[in-house]
Amino acid sequence: MPEESVHHHISKQFEQELEHIRHRVLVMGGLVEEQVANAVKALLENDVNLADEVIDNDYRVNSMEVEIDEKCTEILARRQPAARDLRLVLAVIKTIADLERIGDEARRIARQSLDLSTRYPKTNQLSELEQLAIQVRAMLHNALDAFARINVDLALKVVEEDKTVDKEYESIIRQQITYMMEDPRSIPVSLDIMWSARSLERIGDRSCNICEYLIYLVKGKDVRHISLEQLEKEVRQ
């Protein structure tokens, strides 16, 4: 077989391996999205069975992280990728770590749901939490969409939305503190709601992380720990 044909075959196979790990990230992302959606639903609708299901399914998220990580390690060892290919593998490794932690946050929300099942809060105590959940789930979905389409503009939009999530989170904390001050009997319920809100806020943060890894993949620049204004300049250069 001519040398050129051999190189073409190897290159094509390598390309397929890279596409495979990228695809597996999206499959894992879909599972994590489902976990978050079910955890939130269990909390808002006081669905104990669904909360148990989320907790039981957490092992699937963990297994996928291990599987993809092992494949990435194999690619690094055998292929010794460089430039954009190396950045893709690194971005995948970092992304699946954040997805696994988002899965952990979904499990925590499900556990808070179980704690609340015997002392379900008033509807108005959950209204702001529901709005926060809608915003955070949209961030996660858009972060994964940006990763799927390699769309840095969408990734930037997700990062910009984090300020809104932070404000909504702070509003919930203030609201629950007010409830606790007015009626000490509400303290256990308010604490569970605050912990759930904290998990949602962390999911928003980790969605932003995924977008930063994508920007690193495309631009070749580490944009972690810089201001939003600097990030916008880096993306638009």
Cα–Cα dist 195/173, whole Å: 9
Helix axes 83-116, 48-79, angle to 10 degrees: 160
Give the pLDDT score at 91. Answer: 96
Give the count of beta carbons closer than 10 Å to the beta carbon of residue 53: 15
34: amino acid identity, one letter: E
CA 225/CA 74 separation, integer angstroms? 30
Q: How far is CA 217 from the centre of its chain?
A: 17
**How many domains is the chain built from?**
1
Q: Is the dihedral of CA 224, 225, 229, 230 positive or negative?
A: negative
pLDDT in tens, 7-30: 444 588 999 999 999 999 999 999
Query: What's the CATH code of the domain at 224?
Result: 1.20.58.220
pLDDT in tens, 67-83: 999 999 999 999 999 99
Q: Give me the domain span that covers residue 22.
A: 3-236
pLDDT on residue 39: 98
Cα gap 148→133, rounded to integer Å: 22
Span 171-175, average pLDDT: 94
For 203-230, how does the pLDDT look when each residue is reduced to its tens digit (9 = 90+)? 999 999 999 999 999 988 888 877 777 7
Residue-wise pLDDT tens digits, 96-130: 999 999 999 999 999 999 998 888 766 677 888 99
How is residue 185 annotated by DSSP? G
pTM value? 0.91
Is the distance from CB of 208 to CB of 143 less than 8 angstroms?
yes
Arithmetic mean of pLDDT over the chain: 91
Angle between the N-to-C axes of helices 83-116 and 187-219, in degrees from 0 to 180, rounded to the nearest 10? 170
